[in-house]
Amino acid sequence: MEGCVFCKIARGETPTRFVYEDDLVVAFDDISPQAPLHTLIIPRTHYESPSDGLPPELMVALWSAIPAVAAAKGVAESGYRVILNVGRDAMQSVRHMHVHVLGGRPMSHGMLNFRD
């Protein structure tokens, strides 16, 4: 999608170090982290939300990337939180679907109210 910052990152138009990548998704660290580890996993193709009719292989790629990111960032054993915000009321600020992987410290219930 024209003008989408996450599409530009996925296409390599914005210099970004990928934590993880495959043919369908890329993962990179959030520029405004809400925890010591805050990595985003996005589809290479623009989808605003799961309501856009995601292909099953993309869902598999997204969910397979989560433990890979946790392992690469060293939180697979200690634990991590996974969040997917959908729409304005959920505070989805970038209209390109993305999964947050957070960790590196004990999480609190208050973390459920963070903005993305």
For residue 3, give the nearest of 17, 18, 14 by alpha carbon: 14
Given 38, 96, 98, 100, the catalytic residue: 98
The span from the CA of 116 to the CA of 103, in Å, is 15
For residue 40, give the nearest of 18, 55, 56 by alpha carbon: 18
Reply yes or no on whether 96 is catalytic. Answer: no
List the catalytic residues.
98
